Amino acid sequence: MAACKAGKGEYCYWLGVALQASAQDDRASDILFQRSCKLGVASGCTNRAATLMPERPAKVDAQSCPARTFERTCAANDPWGCSMCGFILGGDKSNPRNRQKALEALKKSCKFGEEDPACRAALAMRKDLER
């Protein structure tokens, strides 16, 4: 925690991940992800935006705050950011170009290989969108 307070974003991020995994305090992990995001950790931004998703994520459009955040974190090569960006764009039928944009974003989700959960989610979504 001291390193996080000292401005080391990766420490804030990993402490947030640990708290989230323990299911001890979601509010604390949200704060840590927000701080890591402000300190430049793209995955922290992705995780914080994920907590802002409504209970019915199919209702999220490409202009929402989480969608804009996922677009930025995907541009920063965060695999989950790309998977979430693709998920939102693929489900938003308001703009016909969103499907193609979703497929492009999902291509960037496999940075860590096909066994990575972000990649597995992206591959499943790509299969659905390519039909």
Residue 72 has pLDDT above 90, yes or no: yes
What is the pLDDT confidence band of residue 59, given thresholds at 50, 70 and 90? Answer: low
Residue 83 CA to residue 89 CA, distance in Å, equals 10
Q: What is the model's pTM? A: 0.86
Query: What backbone phi and psi angles, to 5 degrees, belong to 114?
Result: -70, -15
Residue 95 has pLDDT above 90, yes or no: no
Percent of the chain with pLDDT over 90: 69
Q: Which two tokens stand for residue 113?
A: 């290989």
Contact between residue 85 and residue 55 where contact means Cβ atoms under 8 Å apart = no
Residue whose tokens read 């199919």 = 58
Contact between residue 64 and residue 88 where contact means Cβ atoms under 8 Å apart = yes
Residue 58 has pLDDT above 80, yes or no: no
Residue whose tokens read 């974190």 = 73
